[in-house]
Amino acid sequence: MLTTRLRNYLIDLRSRQRIAIALSRGAAMMHARRVDLARPATWEFSGFSQNGEDGVLDVLRGQMRASNRYFLEIGAADGIENNTAWLLVAEKYAGLMVDGNEAALELARRTVFEQSVGSEGELMFVTRDNVASLRGKLPVADPDVFSLDIDGNDYHVAEAALACGFRPRIFVVEFNSVYGPERSLTIEYDEGFVFTRAHPTWLYYGVSIAAWRRLFERHGYRFVTVERNGVNAFFVDPAWFDAEFLDRVDGLPFAENRYQGRKFKVSSEEQFRWIEGERFVTV
């Protein structure tokens, strides 16, 4: 029977192997791209991210007028498979990864955070009422990148984060393609929401792309694109980007979630019918 110390050693070893693989994969994909600044689909690559987010963030960061080299990620999991690990490990950014899973965050502290000076983990189940407390955990209110992926109250948390003074230069959010491109919907706020318990299909969660666009436009952000797998949307504060660049970008306005499509083998519209009786908020 493995001792706790040996078990942790083996887990940490596997995590370090995953980090090495992610770096190699990301570097290969990055250099294989042929980037067209007008077409975000050409920006994508994945080292640590799941859906090309590393590449989209790479190009957007390269177009910023200035960088403070900080990030904030809410829903960071074990620190390896997320949207800011590339910034921390490959780019040596500093920042904060937040997650409510203690075991996952402890693993990140033992393996990922050793790759960069100034990065930390915060154990927290983030709600709209406590997100403001993260302001004091970073030296800036406008980190280069703010990534939000909590599979639930994302809209309500983002709204509260913007209201309390966060002003990231790039904001990455997960959208739920099941709601389609036109419905401006999110789930009803529930502080203890867990999507795996909310509905047997696991499709009742999060925010539509139309709702995200309305929220960010109210706060002066520009929509850039969604990635091709239909999971994440990207918004930027135009104060940090040349208008000529933003005006030329021909982003993808909507994409169906590829994973949900493969799982259920029906369109997002048909998937929505399974959950349309749930409690939604039009925003």
CATH for 147: 3.40.50.150
Q: Which helix (H) or strand (E) element contains residue 1?
A: none
Whole domain around residue 139: which residue ranges? Answer: 4-282
CA distance 212 to 278: 20
Distance CA 115, CA 47 (A): 15
Q: How many domains does the chain have?
A: 1
pLDDT of residue 3: 80
Crossing angle of helices 209-218/154-163, nearest 10°?
10
- Under-50 pLDDT residues of the chain: none
Q: Please state whether the predicted TM-score (pTM) of the whole model is above 0.85.
A: yes
pLDDT of 72: 98
Question: What is the reported pLDDT for 115?
Answer: 83
Taking only the tens place, the pLDDT of each residue in 96-113 is 999 999 999 999 998 999
**pLDDT, position 174:** 98
Of 257, 255, 251, 259, the residue nearest 235 (C-alpha): 251
CA 15/CA 78 separation, integer angstroms? 9
Cα–Cα distances in angstroms (integers) from residue 202 to residues 19, 198, 226, 273, in the given order: 29, 7, 21, 13
Query: How many other C-beta atoms lie within 10 A of the C-beta of residue 174?
Result: 22
What is the model's pLDDT at position 163?
97
| CB-side neighbour CA atoms (13 Å) of 218 | 10
